[in-house]
Structure 1
């Protein structure tokens, strides 16, 4: 049960965005820039970063909804996301993406957990400074979003299939019109 009076028909951050549209606007814009803006990382790769960070933070709504978007956008679909959730190194993604996911997981733990070794590994796998920057910012933003969603005890279904329509909608429309 949510800690504040939210629309009980809206799950997760969608309920929070409806509750405070004035904070929803900049948060949605941030998500759109990070996940949909120009980037050498695909939408699916950026959504995968968000899904992995959210899963590590045990945020059901964010991990499941962003997994659904990533699954829609990535070749290989949900099995790729599930593999990354289980073991980044065993996931069927590029070596560069694995290195970036390791950076994201480190950010989830603490910004100071991102050591030079992780950065050098990512660079050795072809990651650019912009990709490293964006990975850190996506991971940090998802930590904030996860704590926002769970800190107010928003509603979240734990069935991944329930998020498929959300994934399709978010992939098509982005985050400013939730």
Structure 2
């Protein structure tokens, strides 16, 4: 439940931004510059970092918004349960395991994070650029995690929006629900149906409209 009286009980990112739009005007560009930039990380791995770091910080909103996108981009859904128990024992290759351990320490123990952690990641086969990419992505989601937790929106479950969210993220410049999804909802629906089926798409659209993040219908604050 939202902690701010001018927000709906079920509050999502775009709704929070409407409180102070000028303060968030640069946010889409920041997301594009970090998440859509060239990297040896795949789209799925980028979304995995975002979802995993959000889960570690206890932000259900961002976790459920992004783990379905990671799955849509090829990440095994069962992996999320494994890495939340212990990334060291996750059934993944050495490079992916090292990346997850790196992100976990950055989130859970930032005060003890050191050059040795970066060197261990690179020793597993990643580049220095990838270490920097993982840090930027974790930091990007940290901002949104704090925004959602602070406004009381961290418990909103966005899992059902996964199919449409994945399409929006993949359209051009890492689109956001408040932009691409609203403006091109029919195109997004057609693409989602072809990839994820009619049932999952309709469920996503229904939940998106309910929250005011898909289509032109906006949920009024109270």
Tell me if both proteins adopt one fold, taking TM over 0.5 as the criterion: yes
How far is the alpha carbon of 1:10 from its aligned partner? 6.6
Q: For residues 1-178 of structure 1, what are the structure 2 equivalents within 5 Å?
A: 1-4=1-4, 5-6=6-7, 8=8, 11-76=11-76, 78-154=77-153, 156-158=155-157, 160=159, 162-173=160-171, 174-176=174-176, 178=178
Instruction: Structure 2: give runs of 5+ residues left out of the alignment.
Output: 179-222
The count of residues paired between Structure 1 and Structure 2 equals 175
* C-alpha contact (below 8 Å) 2:145/2:154 kept by paired residues: no
C-alpha separation in 2, matches of 1:177 and 1:167 = 7
Query: With structure 1 as the length reference, what TM-score do the two structures score?
Result: 0.83
Distance in 1, Cα, partners of 2:152 & 2:75: 33
In 1, Cα distance between equivalents of 2:164 and 2:12: 12
CA 1:149–1:159 in 2, change beyond 3 Å: closer, same or farther? closer
Structure 1, unpaired ranges of 5+? none
- TM norm structure 2: 0.69
Corresponding residue for residue 203 of structure 2: none
**Matched residue, 2:206:** none
Give the whole-Å Cα distance in 1 for the aligned partners of 2:92 and 2:161: 23
Q: Secondary structure at the match of 1:19?
A: coil
Alignment partners' CA distance in 1, 2:75 and 2:177: 26
CA contact (8 A) 1:54 1:62 kept: yes
Partner-residue secondary structure (3-state), 2:156: coil
Q: State how far apart, in whole Å, the 2-side matches of 1:94 and 1:23 are.
A: 41
C-alpha root-mean-square deviation of aligned residues, in Å?
2.4
Q: CA deviation at 1:149?
A: 0.7
CA distance in 2, matches of 1:124, 1:134: 16
Deviates further, 139-148 or 49-58 = 139-148
Larger radius of gyration: 2
Q: Determine which structure has greater relative contact order: mean sequence separation of CA pairs < 8 Å that are 6+ residues apart, divided by chain length.
A: 1
CA distance in 1, matches of 2:31, 2:82: 24
Q: Deviations over 1:110-133 (max 9, x none)?
A: 433223332222111111111001
Change (3 A) 1:43 1:9: farther
